[in-house]
């Protein structure tokens, strides 16, 4: 193996991680909007890790994909946490009101 093959393998691994982070970011937003907040949180965290890893690998061709994956994963994480906290607060208040009426 010469030096060019090793560099191209590192770029390929970084590009794959950037693409995976983009897909995970999109899926985290979709899951958080359609009811699976825990799944959205998990996918968002994994997407952030993959985007950070892709940026550290120095992928030149898919740097935009790594950045977009990072941003989408952060957005998915925020939406999931907000929806989950809203659900927990609402469920607690609902239980309080049912105790009053029954």
Three-state DSSP at 102 gives coil
21-35 per-position pLDDT tens digit = 999 999 999 999 887
Report how far residue 50's alpha carbon sits from residue 73's, in angstroms, rounded to the nearest whole number: 10
Under 8 Å CB-to-CB from 16, ≥6 apart: which residues?
Answer: none
Distance CA 15, CA 61 (A): 7
Handedness of CA 27, 28, 34, 37 (dihedral sign): positive
pLDDT tens digits along 32-72: 988 788 899 999 999 999 999 888 877 667 778 889 999 99
Q: pLDDT at position 100, please?
A: 57
């Amino acid at each position: 193996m010469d030096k060019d093959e090793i560099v191209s393998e590192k770029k390929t691994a970084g590009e794959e991680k950037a693409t995976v982070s983009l897909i995970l970011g999109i899926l985290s937003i979709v899951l958080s909007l359609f009811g699976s907040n825990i799944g959205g949180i998990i996918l968002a965290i994994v997407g952030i890790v993959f985007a950070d890893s892709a940026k550290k690998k120095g992928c030149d061709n898919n740097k935009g994909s790594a950045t977009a994956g990072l941003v989408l994963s952060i957005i998915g994480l925020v939406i999931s946490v907000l929806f989950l906290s809203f659900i927990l607060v609402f469920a607690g208040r609902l239980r309080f009101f049912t105790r009053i009426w029954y």
